[in-house]
A and B are shown apart, each in its own frame.
Chain A
Amino acid sequence: MARLHAQPICVASALAIPMLVLAQPAWLTLSGVGPSWAVLWLLPWALVDGPISGAIAGAAIALVLDGLGVDGLTQLPALVLLGWWWGRLGRRGRPIQRSLNLGLLAWIGAMVVGVSLWLQLRLVQGLDAPLLQHWAWHLCLTQAVITGLLAPMLSSWQLLVWRRRSRA
């Protein structure tokens, strides 16, 4: 069984994440808010490749995305946690492949990332204006919804391709 992280083409697919974050296609946004591309890529990866690989992939993506951000905020803890959790879900029980399940997991993942960033703004940077709270919750929920809607289309396709490659 060839693991995903041993296949260069699968690892190289992660390069699409920073490119998509920078490009932010306007036709894939919900009221101007784009999906969490990291969550959409990490979900199928962790489900196929396991918790250790998922956590490491989450950390690697987070480091790249943190470099693209201004400063002061990090996605590292949220993506490592999600990679580990999804990896464990993929190893235990029946394989997750239904659209609703993938959409729900992606929704939860985007919410976890959003809430972790909001907590950092509030606790680390000390920003707590009412307008800021309103904006943060709006951003959290909108990003979670668009991520959850795109997951059944994108992540299920990735899951299918990567499962085939991992069995080959």
Chain B
Amino acid sequence: MAASQWPAGPRWRGGRRLWPWLALFVVLALVRWSKGAGFVDAYALLSRPFWPGSAQKEWLQSAGTLEQKAQLELLRQDNARLRDLLELNRGSGDGQVAAAVISRNAAAWWQQLELGQGASAGLASGDAVIGPGGLIGRVQSVTPTTARVKLLTAPGSKVGVWVPRTRQHALLVGVGTARPQLRFIDKDIKARPGDLVSTSPASTLLPPNLPVAVIQSLNSRAVPAPKGVVQLIAAPEAVDWVQVQTR
């Protein structure tokens, strides 16, 4: 009887030769299953010194910013055209005057700011004054070179606002403290703490859709209508420069 061409030996010897191939197959299957994750990670680690420099990244970011600016401008123009059609206030965008705060009385009986721009720069009584983030008050009186601003926090200050999320109107009333009071007109309110408060889109006295404050707390059982306390977005006691929206 001729000898077999296969090496003789116990059956387990063949399995011992086979298991590295099986392990390799399992590894390759895992690579396939993970969509080559290990290889990509290894490649990323090895090729990191040769990645594109920050210049291209900045270029992409600035391109993105430019694109957003262009989109914003187009939307602004579109919005202005639609508001013209509806005969509403034109809103923000044009006619803003930057003014320095030259005197500040945010913690006194008269809560007001004095601005370093006046009637000669186009400011007039009733103009909206915008701090970084949102509305802080309205121009009360002007001289040729200065303007006096009554802050939203001043006692007796009243401004019509609305809550964009629930589309409900309210009155923002200054009570002296840094947090004005929000008096709702409807009895059934759906607003909740954390909601943004802005000027009304149909406002004729103030620029529409201007952020004003964030609701801090609500008392839905208040009589005759629910009340709330808001935190202004722009803090008047820390503002050094403001934008005045001229009309």
Contact = CB atoms under 8 A, between A and B. Distances in A.
Interface of A: 21-24, 29, 31-34, 68-73, 114, 117, 121, 125, 127, 129, 131-132, 134-136, 139
B175 interface: yes
Contacts of A73: 109-110
Contact of A72 (B156, B181, B229): B156
8 contacts: A23-B103, A31-B107, A34-B108, A70-B148, A73-B110, A121-B156, A129-B181, A136-B155
B155 A127 contact: yes
A127 B156 contact: yes
Contact of B110 (A69, A127, A134): A69
Identify which of B109, B177, B181 gathers the most chain A CB atoms within 10 Å of its CB.
Answer: B109
B156 A134 contact: no
B104 interface: yes
Contacts of A22: 102-103, 114
B67 interface: no
A31 to B, nearest CB: 8
Interface in B143-173: 148, 150, 154-156, 173
Contact of A129 (B148, B154, B175): B175
Given A121-B156, A135-B155, 6 more contacts: A24-B105, A70-B150, A71-B140, A121-B155, A125-B156, A136-B176
A34 B109 CA distance: 11
Interface string B28-44: 00000000000000000
Given A24-B105, A135-B177, A32 B237 contact: yes
A50 B35 CA distance: 96
How extensive is the interface on chain B, given as a class? Answer: 20 to 34
B107 A33 contact: yes
A33 B108 CA distance: 6
Contact of B106 (A32, A114, A127, A135): A32
A7 to B, nearest CB: 29
A34 B140 CA distance: 23
B238 to A, nearest CB: 11
Given A70-B112, A121-B155, A24 B177 contact: no
A139 B108 CA distance: 7
Contacts of B237: 32
Nearest to B111: A70
Interface in B93-152: 102-112, 114, 140, 148, 150
B177 A131 contact: yes
A135 B107 CA distance: 10
Contacts of B109: 69, 73, 114, 117, 139
Contacts of A117: 109
Interface in B41-87: none
Contacts of A24: 103-105, 108
Interface pairs A-B: 8 shortest CB-CB: A135-B176, A32-B107, A69-B110, A22-B103, A132-B175, A131-B175, A135-B177, A117-B109
Contacts of B173: 129
Contacts of B177: 131-132, 134-135
A135 B104 CA distance: 18
Contacts of A125: 155-156
Contacts of B112: 69-70
A100 B181 CA distance: 41
B125 to A, nearest CB: 11
